[in-house]
Copies of this chain bind each other. A is one copy, B any other.
Amino acid sequence: MHRIDNLQYANWSEKIFREMREGSVDAVHVTITYHENFRETVANVEKWNRWFERYPDLIFQGRIGDDVRRAKKEGRTAIFFGFQNPSPIEDDIGLVEICHTLGARFMQLTYNNQSLLATGCYEAEDTGVTRMGKQVIKEMNRVGLVIDMSHSAERSTLEAMEVSERPIAITHANPSFWHSALRNKSDDVLKALGSSGGMLGFSVYPHHLKDGTNCTLESFCEMIAKTADLMGIENIGIGTDLCQDQPDSIVEWMRVGRWTKEIDYGEGSASNAGFPQMPSWFNGNLDFDNIERGLLEAGLSEAEVAGVMGENWLRFYDKNFGPA
């Protein structure tokens, strides 16, 4: 059984890389871009190259599904790159292939705002996929860069699935039937995602959880079991959205970027502006055993739990990380 966390954005350190190994995490999809343009994204790849050079016994760059199997065999963690914003391709469709060559495997068509490609979930209106968006989806399909709609608005998400000839992903979100939040997803989106072979990664970020920081492991795992019934047990996995050891200045950067001179609190509020406290049962890479145990207690079979904890993402990686 392989264990995959399909979304983290920690304040990376040797400590965290060691915890990935101690927690038997074979692969992590890490966000390397929130608002960065192409050149700034390349600088972030350079940073990762230095970490790969410095900690070769702990981590290496993943590019295909087999790298997850290799990671498990060698007792390391494969790191896959992803973007939470299409800002790295700027206005240049040719950068889709370049970014894939550099290792990007997931790219959100939007962060919270309108992008050149589609609409983010914080906009008042949603036009769906734009003219450039349609062209870029075709190019992402060609090279095998997975479309991620975690932060996109509903219509854009449904249209992305229609336009895309390959399955898409929602790497880190939860169903809105469980906790209604702008970032969580409707039954319509989840059903369409499942029936098209797409994947949902369940988030442990408190603003996406019922009762926030006080969310119980039982409630979280029951929600997973219900979502499996809704969209298919093979179409779900984990995408914790873990932002371990990040200072609050980072969540402000995520929300505000460079697009406004005012404060935007996003999912938070003036009185709760920073990173929320994580639930007691999940603070980092050492805690995946808790989720695994919770899923068994929620009635999932061992094979089903293995699927959710990593095998489903691994099968998705195998199919979608290169030309069809």
Whether the Cβ atoms of B91 and A261 lie closer than 8 Å is no
Find the B residue at minimum CB distance from A36: B91
Given A116-B115, A262-B135, A90 contacting B37 (CB threshold 8 A): yes
A86 to chain B, nearest CB (A): 11
> Does chain B have a CB within 8 A of A271?
no
> Does chain B have a CB within 8 A of A131?
yes
Find the B residue at minimum CB distance from A126: B127
Task: Name the 10 nearest CB pairs between A and B, nearest first.
Answer: A125-B127, A92-B258, A114-B130, A132-B259, A135-B260, A127-B127, A113-B131, A91-B258, A113-B132, A91-B259
> Does chain B have a CB within 8 A of A318?
no
Residue of A91, A94, A126, A139 most packed against chain B (CB within 10 A): A91
Main secondary structure of the interface of A (DSSP, over half): loop
Whether the Cβ atoms of A139 and B259 lie closer than 8 Å is no
Given A91-B87, A259-B116, A261-B139, A131 contacting B122 (CB threshold 8 A): yes
A2 to chain B, nearest CB (A): 36
Within 8 A of B (CB), among A225-282: 257-262, 264
